[in-house]
Structure 1
C-alpha cells in the first residue's frame, strides 16, 4: 500500500462533499441547532455497536481488543456489518459506513455506538446519515479526533447530545473508565479539570498540564468542540452546530504551529470565534515549531486570536490526543472558569 494521505490533504475534501448537496438542503440545515436531546443511559449487560465510520482496521486483532474492552465495561459488543471493510485507507465505501451507523441507531437492541478508531473519513459519510431516524432513536455515541465530524454533524442536525470521549482503541485505564461510567451509566454532572500527571505527584510544583489563562473570567454556554483540523474542514457546512454563545474547545495533533494559526484564522474569518462565550484550547500533541525565521509559539498564536475576543479563555487543558480521554458532552450547557481551568456540567447528560 502506498503512503497514506495526510490529514491536511484529506480534510480539504470535506467542503467538496457539502458542496454537492442541493442548495435547499444546505440552506435549511443552517438553521439553529435543535434543542438538546439526551440519550438513554447505559446499564450493565447493554449491547454496544462497534463501528468503523472513518479509517480502516487492517489488523483484526484490533477489533478483538475493542470487544474485550467493551466486555470489561460490563457491556456486550456487536460488530457492525462493515466494521472490517476496506476501501483504501477507509473502512469501506462511504454509503456502507453510513449504513452501519443508521442500522445501529435503528436497532432497539443497540444502546450505544463506539468507533474502533478515527484516522479520516467521518465527514464523507455525513450526507448519507438518516438524521430523522437518529433523532427518533437517541443513543450514546462517543469518539474523538476524526470522530469530531460525526459527533458535531449529528448534534447539529438532531440536537442529540454526543460525547467527545474514548474510541475503542484507547487505553481504558481506571482514570478513563471511571468518569466514562459516571457520565454515561450514572448520569452524574462532573467538573473536569487538569489532572496531576504522574511525574508531578512528588514535586512541589506542577510542570505538566498547567492552566494557562488567556483571559480570566467565567462563562456559561453549550459545550462544543474537538479536533481543530476537522472542525476547520467542515466550517460553513450544515454539520456545524450554532455556536452563538457557546463554549468551544479545540485540540490537534501533528500540526506545525503555522497551520494552527491558519486554521484559527479560518475560524476567525468565518465568524466562528466572534460568536463564542468562552474558549478552551487543549493539547497540540507533536505540534512542532513552524521552522524558518521568526516562528511564532503556540502561546503567541492563541493570544493573537483569542485575547482580542475578551471572553474567558484558557489553554493547555488535558483534552486531545492524550490519556486519559475525557468524556465531554457536546451540546449540553456547562460553565467554565478560565482561571481555575475547569469545565463543569450543569446537569446530567443522559436520561
Structure 2
C-alpha cells in the first residue's frame, strides 16, 4: 500500500453510561448483500496498475458483488486521478445511481480533501449508501458524516489485502449488520507471550461515544474547516503511516490546541506503520513518549495497538456510530448495527 506522502485518571463509569444515544441523529446506509453492485472510484491517486484493479474486482466478486468503475477511473492529472470536478462527479454519480449500492475507494493518496467543496451533500443524504476506505479517504469519511450525518466506514480500499481477517470484519459490519466487539487477535504463535498486535493500555476504564477519526495527518489538516464533526463526547480513533515521531507529536499537539482532545470521551490508537524513531536524529522521542505527553494526562480511557491503519489485517470501523471502548481489554464494542 502506498503511503499518503508517496502521493502525498480513569474516567468514571457513570458519566460514560449517562451519555445520550448520539447515533439516533445519524443516518444509516442499507447493508450490503450478495448481488449488489459496488462502485469503485479513484478519489485521489491514479490507478497505476490494471492488475491491482482486476484483483480488487475479483475480490469483491468473490464476496458476491458486481462491480462498476467510475467514468473517470483511469484518468490522470499529475499525481491525481483526473481533475477534481471529474473525481467528485464519479462519487456524486455513484450516490445517485440506484443500481449502485455501495462505494469503495480503489486506494488513497493525497487528493480527497480537494473534493469536499464539490460534493452534492443533499443528494448524498437522500441516497445513503456505505462509503468505505481509509488513509486519505478519511477526508471524505469525516466530511460526508459532518455534512450529512451519514455513517461512513474506515475499512479496506479496493487495493487492500482482502484476506480472511479483513473480509471477516467487513462482512460482519457491512453485510451481516452485527453490533460487533472488535478485539485484536491473541495468537502467540510459538512465542512464550504475544508479540504481534499487542494492546497497550494508556488509561484503563470504559468510555462511550460516537466513533470519529481516521488518518491523523488528514484529520489534522481539516481542522478549521467545516468538514469536521462535533467532537463532544466522541471516541477518537487515529492511525498513520510513514511519519516521523516529531510530526506525530506536532499533529497531536494541534488536536490538543484546537480543543479536540479535551472534548473526547476516549481514545484509540491503531497502528503507525513505519513511524519508529530509527536514525532520525539525536534524542528523538518515541511514540510511547508522545502518548505519555498528550493522551495519558487527559485521564480518559485510552489504548493503543488496535487493528486500524495501513496494515493487512484491519477492522471495519463505522464513523459516526455509538460505541463503547474498554481500554483495559483493548476492545471496541458497537452499541448497535451500523447498517439498516
With normalisation by structure 1, the TM-score equals 0.89
The equivalent residue for 2:137 is 147
The equivalent residue for 1:214 is 202
User: Residue 122 in 1 paired to residue 112 in 2?
Assistant: yes
The equivalent residue for 1:54 is 44
Tell me by how many angstroms 1:342 deviates: 0.4
Tell me by how many angstroms 1:235 deviates: 1.1
Verify the 8 A CA contact 2:4 2:135 in the aligned structure 1. Answer: no
Tell me by how many angstroms 1:8 deviates: 9.5
Verify the 8 A CA contact 1:66 1:169 in the aligned structure 2. Answer: yes
Q: Identify which of 287, 297, 301 aligns with 1:298.
A: 287
Instruction: Mark the runs of 5 or more structure 1 residues left unpaired by the alignment.
Output: 11-31
The equivalent residue for 2:308 is 319
Please provide the CA RMSD for this pair: 1.9
Tell me by how many angstroms 1:288 deviates: 2.4
The equivalent residue for 1:259 is 247
Tell me by how many angstroms 1:33 deviates: 10
User: Residue 178 in 1 paired to residue 168 in 2?
Assistant: yes
SS at match of 2:104: strand
CA distance in 1, matches of 2:66, 2:37: 4
CA distance in 2, matches of 1:173, 1:155: 28
Alignment of 1:264-283 (within 5 A): 264-283=252-271
Alignment of 1:196-235 (within 5 A): 196-197=186-187, 200-235=188-223
Identify if the C-alpha distance between structure 1 residues 5 and 186 changes in structure 2 by more than 3 Å, giving closer, same or farther.
closer
The equivalent residue for 2:156 is 166
The equivalent residue for 2:5 is 7
Verify the 8 A CA contact 2:23 2:321 in the aligned structure 1. Answer: no
CA distance in 1, matches of 2:338, 2:24: 16
Tell me by how many angstroms 1:221 deviates: 0.2
CA distance in 2, matches of 1:147, 1:5: 12
Q: Identify which of 51, 66, 73 aligns with 1:76.
A: 66
Identify if the C-alpha distance between structure 1 residues 33 and 155 changes in structure 2 by more than 3 Å, giving closer, same or farther.
farther
Tell me by how many angstroms 1:271 deviates: 0.7
CA distance in 2, matches of 1:140, 1:349: 10
Tell me by how many angstroms 1:5 deviates: 11
With normalisation by structure 2, the TM-score equals 0.92
Tell me by how many angstroms 1:182 deviates: 1.2
CA distance in 2, matches of 1:193, 1:219: 16
Q: Number of paired residues?
A: 325
CA distance in 1, matches of 2:135, 2:4: 14
Identify if the C-alpha distance between structure 1 residues 276 and 70 changes in structure 2 by more than 3 Å, giving closer, same or farther.
same
SS at match of 1:146: helix
CA distance in 1, matches of 2:47, 2:122: 29
Verify the 8 A CA contact 2:30 2:129 in the aligned structure 1. Answer: yes
Identify if the C-alpha distance between structure 1 residues 243 and 6 changes in structure 2 by more than 3 Å, giving closer, same or farther.
closer
The equivalent residue for 1:334 is 323
